[in-house]
Chains A and B, each alone.
Chain A
Amino acid sequence: EDKVVQSPLSLVVHEGDTVTLNCSYEVTNFRSLLWYKQEKKAPTFLFMLTSSGIEKKSGRLSSILDKKELFSILNITATQTGDSAVYLCAVKNNQGGKLIFGQGTELSVKP
């Protein structure tokens, strides 16, 4: 059965800290891995990764995929209170393009 596992499940840091969120997966016919940020509403798209070793970057956020070891990390540098949210990792397989989500990492950034 396809599975996506995120760690840690929750994390509390202070403003200015750097955090690394982990996502590992076991999926048949992998196509892509996506990161979303959810703040008590709809998940907001962050990154989509399809190739190993190519870092995607957007401001203080960056992500990379390792298709050999079947994992991805999401880095957030110089965290701000506005980064507080649940970060969801999802994997898309060949079966119709549905997303298989991990449990999410709840990040809390304290002032």
Chain B
Amino acid sequence: AAGVIQSPRHLIKEKRETATLKCYPIPRHDTVYWYQQGPGQDPQFLISFYEKMQSDKGSIPDRFSAQQFSDYHSELNMSSLELGDSALYFCASSLRRLAGEHEQYFGPGTRLTVT
């Protein structure tokens, strides 16, 4: 079965640079969530999109922005990178338009290292 695809899997950037992370949800899933997981920490919710509209916002810095496109893939844009942005960034997708509860499936993550 197709899973959530994230690219790139690894990314090394310097301070003050910009990074773009991409997420391709499971086919037919309409909702994308972004999470940030620092070393030894639990995933923290950043932002989510449902049907290409932002549906919820968590602890996402103003330096970050994201969007969901017409094909449902999503991109997380990170500018003015700081050392503290080094983390695993997970994308998860779910199918929200149908009634009932739906689990979120996680992608493999992008490991961002800021030097």
A44-B31 Cα distance, complex, nearest whole Å: 18
Q: Is the CB of A32 within 8 A of B33?
A: no
**Residues on A with beta carbons closer than 8 Å to the beta carbon of B45:** 98-100
Of the listed stretches B13-21, B50-58, B77-85, chain A binds B50-58
CB distance from B10 to the nearest CB of A (A): 12
Docked complex: B1-57 residues within 8 A CB-CB of A: 4, 31, 33, 35, 41-45, 48, 50, 55-56
Q: Mark A42-82, 1 if CB is under 8 A from B, else 0.
A: 11110010100000000000000000000000000000000
**Residues on B with beta carbons closer than 8 Å to the beta carbon of A88:** 42-43
Q: Is the CB of A101 within 8 A of B55?
A: no
CB distance from B60 to the nearest CB of A (A): 11
CB distance from A3 to the nearest CB of B (A): 12
CB distance from A32 to the nearest CB of B (A): 5
**Residues on A with beta carbons closer than 8 Å to the beta carbon of B58:** 98
A41 partner, pick from B48, B56, B103, B108, beta carbons under 8 A: B108
**Residues on A with beta carbons closer than 8 Å to the beta carbon of B101:** 31-32, 48, 50, 92
A103 within 8 Å of B by Cβ? Answer: yes
B94 within 8 Å of A by Cβ? Answer: yes
B residues touching A (Cβ–Cβ < 8 Å)?
4, 31, 33, 35, 41-45, 48, 50, 55-56, 58, 90, 92, 94, 96, 101, 103-109
